Amino acid sequence: MEALKTIFETIVGSSEMSPFLVVSILILAGVLGGWLAGLLRLPHITGNILGGVLVGPACLGVIGTHSEMLALQPLSTFAMSLIAVSIGGHLSYRRIHNSIRRIISISIMEVTVTVTVVIGVARLFHMDWPMSLMLGAISAATAPATTIALIRELRCKGPFVKTLVSVVALDNIFCILLFVMTRTFVDAYFVSGETTSQIDDALLLSAYHLVGALVLGIATGWVSRKLVSKPKFHDFSTIFVAIMVCDGLAAYLGLSPLLVNLFFGVYLGNSSRVAEKQLTTLEPLEPILYICFFTLAGASLHLDSMLEVGGLALVYFASRFIGKGLGAALGGMMGKCSKRLWQNMSFSLVPQAGIAIGLVVLLDGDENMPREMTNAVGAIILAAVTINEIVGPFFTKAALLRSKEAGRDRQRLVEFLAEEFITVDLRALDKWDAIRQMVAFLMRTHRVEHVSKEELYQTVVEREKEISTALGHGIAIPHGHIKKGPAIQGVLAICRDGIDFDAPDGESVKLIMLIVTPEDQKDMHLKVLASLSSMVRDETIRSRIIAAISPEDAMEVFESEEARGYNYFLD
């Protein structure tokens, strides 16, 4: 290895390489590492990181000088910002409206337990309170880039993935706010010897970071939505520039670029179909950006720091691992989510990188804190990041595979059989009231912007008046047609009390599926009706759906082995 390193130093000499050459080397090293990782059945991310370690200063030293790393910082920042926008887009009301309880419960408990455990263990190892508090605050962060990249690599989709991405987003919001507050208290301690007088300052500074990022993210999102709705503005260019504006203004205003872009993504995901579509505009750039980001992360890993504070870094890693796992499990049980979700969530939150490194940089520039403390915290975090980025993807990948949601990010025959389109507590006076409530539910959970709620209701009622859509056995599939739309859309409701639907067997209906079909999708409409009819006529499936106590429980039935033959993948 030393001989190869000497050869590279001789060839390159003392001159700095062009940033284009550095990026090319990063891409080639990352692609090669990912390819080798694939052959060994390892996460591609781990291969990218190890490729970066190989060409970085820890091994060959092809790249890694201070000026080269500074030149590549904007690339890393943009990649993180793009990931933040993507994560923010997943915090869409229509996606998480009936899973908010478990998302908040898992996130709050996991952050609380992790911070508490890390602080407690740090004190057991005789670290002072300021240092323990800073380590605890930073421990709350979870690497969004690793999570998103693994989800894309494994083509995952389902309730677990939705919960995981949402929890990661909240983790990082909580971490940034917690870090700001903790740093204010610790600064006050070293300046005046007391922290009680700084509570107002800490709260105000945290509010500035939260509200400032929220306002800037929403404002940029609003402008972007207005621009992309006009034909003369190119979608890709608009969103590309918008992310750069968010990064630039955040840095100028002293805000977190990650938080600003996260709220930018939240706005896009919750405003309109046109705006939500922009979340996928930069997808062609994502593979190359991810490779660059993770390979650069590998080249930047501080293996020397890991050797210097290896013992303390392992203590921090272990305590954070225990805190994340225990907190996620407790939060999942408190949020009453399925065993499949909370068990796998316990192992999916290990990765920690970009945000933690960014907070260490901020801490390093704090002149109010002793240099010995900031150096120690930085060394421990950077060493732990090295461990987390190498082993973390293994845990997250294992959790995604165990959740049985890998390979499901493909179009299915009945796309609306998802958790967010299911309600289990429908109560109605009669079938007309039930149809009206389900139309309102569909309008709230889908992007139905080309028809009004009343128009949609009337088209379903007209079809129902021709002949009852009740099939017998407690099932009804009311449906209507609209002139245009992106695809067949629908919702499902469970009515435990039963509703008179003029069924041929006289039974009251407890399971209602509302379908709305565009005129150009009539052939697919017949396939969907046939599939749904066959599925719910299966007594085992039907009884399990009606007995579901939550949308998640109903979703578990649709994902079961018994139901997969009815709702098959189209590719």
Q: Which residues are catalytic?
A: 479
The 3-state secondary structure of 345-396 reads: HCCCCCCCCHHHHHHHHHHHCCCCCCHHHHHHHHHHHHHHHHHHHHHHHHHH
Query: Is 439 in a helix, a strand, or coil?
Result: helix
Q: CA neighbours within 13 Å on the CB side: how many for 135?
A: 34
Residues 465 and 501: beta-carbon distance below 8 Å:
no
The whole-angstrom separation of Cα 442 and Cα 94 is 10
CA distances from 21 to 62, 222, 232, 296, 494 (A): 11, 38, 35, 13, 60
Residues 559 and 545: beta-carbon distance below 8 Å:
no
The whole-angstrom separation of Cα 364 and Cα 366 is 6
Joined together, the tokens standing for residue 191 give 């300046």
Length of the chain: 571
Residue with tokens 């709050």, as numbered in its chain:
108
Query: Is 1 in a helix, a strand, or coil?
Result: coil
CA distances from 422 to 96, 494, 545 (A): 12, 8, 11
Exposure string for 351-364, b = 16+ CB within 10 A, e = fewer: bbbbbbbbbbeebe
Residues 106 and 163: beta-carbon distance below 8 Å:
yes
Residues 314 and 132: beta-carbon distance below 8 Å:
no
Q: CA neighbours within 13 Å on the CB side: how many for 359?
A: 33
Residue 283 CB: number of other CB atoms within 10 A? 12
The whole-angstrom separation of Cα 121 and Cα 100 is 31
Residues 542 and 536: beta-carbon distance below 8 Å:
yes
The whole-angstrom separation of Cα 311 and Cα 127 is 13
Residue with tokens 């975090």, as numbered in its chain:
381
What type of residue is 199?
I
The DSSP call for residue 569 is B
C-alpha dihedral (411, 416, 419, 423), degrees to nearest 10? -170
Radius of gyration of the chain (CA): 26
Q: CA neighbours within 13 Å on the CB side: how many for 277?
A: 11
